[in-house]
Amino acid sequence: MTSHISSALQLPPLQSHTPFSTRHGLLPIPPPNLNGGLRFSAITCASSNGRAPNSAEDGVKEVKRILEEKKRAELAARIASGEFTAQQSSFLGQLRSLVSRLGILGDARDGFLAIPEAKGSMSAVGGQAFFLPLYELFLTYGGIFRLKFGPKSFLIVSDPAIAKHILRDNAKAYSKGILAEILDFVMGKGLIPADGEIWRVRRRAIVPALHRKYVAAMIGLFGQATDRLCKKLDAAASDGEDVEMESLFSRLTLDVIGKAVFNYDFDSVTNDKGIVEAVYTVLRESERRSTSIIPVWNIPIWKDISPRQRKVTAALKLINDVLNDLIARCKRMVEEEELQFHDEYMNEQDPSILHFLLASGDDVSSKQLRDDLMTLLIAGHETSAAVLTWTFYLLSKEPSIMAKLQEEVDSVLGDRFPTIEDMKKLKYTTRVINESLRLYPQPPVLIRRSLDNDVLGKYPIKRGEDIFISVWNLHHCPNHWIDVDKFNPERWPLDGPNPNEVNQNFSYLPFGGGPRKCVGDMFASFENVVAVAMLVRRFNFQLALGAPPVGMTTGATIHTTEGLVMTVTRRTRPPIIPTLDNKLLEVNVEDPVEKASPPVAASKLSNGLLRLRSRYATMLTESIRRFPPDPQSEGGLPLSLRTGHVVSFIHGM
């Protein structure tokens, strides 16, 4: 449900498979050890508990990993050598340098003061996530450079000051550009791809729907949806089956967004309906278009002869039919209800955003409503699913952080569902998600197009420039972060404000920034907190034995290459040991100990037990039967109670 999500939801065609280089900067360092390749996961349960991994298969994977590391190292060396630097004639280069130093022919837009340039190479990256070569180039050459592919070029921005200028200070001078073109087939003029007046009108209509009362009601929805997932995981734990979590997180968040946006129960965690498959067909097509070199879908005859395009067309028709039916049904409900609309209006039976918009008198066509709903559906569930996927991957690698997280959840929630009041109490849980979003930003890139001439840093740019703001680079910049690759939820104080683009000065963009910042940031944050808290309260998660390596690839967000296969086990928490109130068990110390007979001591003790809660009284009474009063004890109390035997007995009950 985030607007920035879809800013990178699709990356321009020529970008996704290309590395490059420019001028100026630091020495390159290799990117993380990650795999590539586009995939979209489906739910699978592969029983591998207690099984040794297939040695031959593991050997193949290890060889593949070594070859990929070698390829990345070679790419880094080629970048450092300047192989990808866009070269110009020595005479022209010297002339530009002279003009720049003398300040003559002062209009830099005539090409005399140029942004450092790089050229693309289709073969250098292979299948790895496109933003990893961009990171190498950033470390090598700095915060802004031009990436060229023949006559086409893109500006790559990794400087927080320039990102702030584009996203906030001069936001009106930039549109969504390529993003809107790619998403038109599915989102039309929805809130995320829309620009100009359409965007302003739709944002003014949608933002009020996300009021505090609505978000508080959604906490209950988050809990119910997560509980359904818990039941599925409980069954897998009983059967000893490993679980592919990425697809399950995607289905969890689809169920949430369906109810939250238009009151439709996909029930995708437990069922495979046609509409669920249609949603994923459309989502996969969006991802393909974002990484395709040639936009063949724009060829008129292609959509009629391509089996994939025919499937996409049929999926879109099914989704549109469902949405149109939901809109018509909701209109009838609004006409019949007697509730008066106000700022925090919410229908208890149907608290959805669709119901709010119709009740508010939002005067738009059904087509515009459909575009808005589809936008929120696609963007809203995709980002949260990715956040949960990478959060649990990180937690599986850091048992101490998982233990601290579980300790907080046990203390705050016990065995109940979270409430809106718990959101402020789950501070460590929130920081875990903050840090997950830093290491794996969703999306890794924001897309803009300049609508007018402007100046970025010291470089003038012209109207029509396509720009990639690399959130990945901002979040991994070694100049802005200590131990940049370390998963450290406490890099921000627990009692401090939540990190955001403002207090981190645009070095951290978990939900974008400026006027087009994600409208659903609070919704998404609470959804993730509830899901993480409920899952870690009931289960332990480990990477499954023999599971494929967890690599990254680029889709609408950062996907895994081969899923996140985990072994899920029920947590066994230690029993609660009662703390005895000394006042309840006081014995008159003036009575001589030697005169206190066992029956008297037992009587005094039983009087104290009557004032305890019944569950503990039963345990203590049984303990006295097993450990009778000792004449040598202080005040006639059992020596065994004083030495801890009774506590040991209670622990074993």
Structure-token match 């985990």, residue found: 566
> 330 a known binding residue?
no
Q: Please calculate the CA angle 237-227-543 and round it to the nearest 5 degrees.
A: 40
198 exposed, middle or buried (CB, 10 Å; 0-12, 13-18, 19+)?
Answer: middle
Question: Rounded to an integer, what is the distance from CA 518 to the centroid of its chain?
Answer: 13
d(C-alpha 380, C-alpha 442), whole Å:
11
Name the 3-class secondary structure at 454.
strand
d(C-alpha 585, C-alpha 606), whole Å:
9
Which tokens in the block code for residue 548? 């494929």
Handedness of CA 485, 490, 493, 498 (dihedral sign): positive
513 exposed, middle or buried (CB, 10 Å; 0-12, 13-18, 19+)?
Answer: buried
DSSP state of 612: S
> Measuring CA to CA, which residue among 139, 141, 155, 154 is closest to residue 31?
139
Q: Which backbone phi and psi does 400 adopt, to 5 degrees?
A: -65, -35
Strands 117-119 and 144-149, sheet pairing: parallel
d(C-alpha 604, C-alpha 601), whole Å:
5
Q: Please calculate the CA angle 5-8-10 and round it to the nearest 5 degrees.
A: 115
Q: Which backbone phi and psi does 361 adopt, to 5 degrees?
A: 80, 20
First to last CA, the chain: 48
Cβ contact 187:193 at 8 Å: yes
> Measuring CA to CA, which residue among 46, 512, 519 is closest to residue 260?
519
> Measuring CA to CA, which residue among 325, 218, 222, 227 is closest to residue 270?
227
H or E element: which one contains 414?
Answer: none
Cβ contact 68:590 at 8 Å: no
Q: Please calculate the CA angle 426-428-431 and round it to the nearest 5 degrees.
A: 110
Q: Dmax over Cα atoms in the chain, in whole Å? A: 112
| Helix pair 245-262, 366-397: axis angle to 10 deg | 150
Name the 3-class secondary structure at 249.
helix
- Annotated binding-site residue numbers for heme: 518
- Annotated binding-site residue numbers: 518
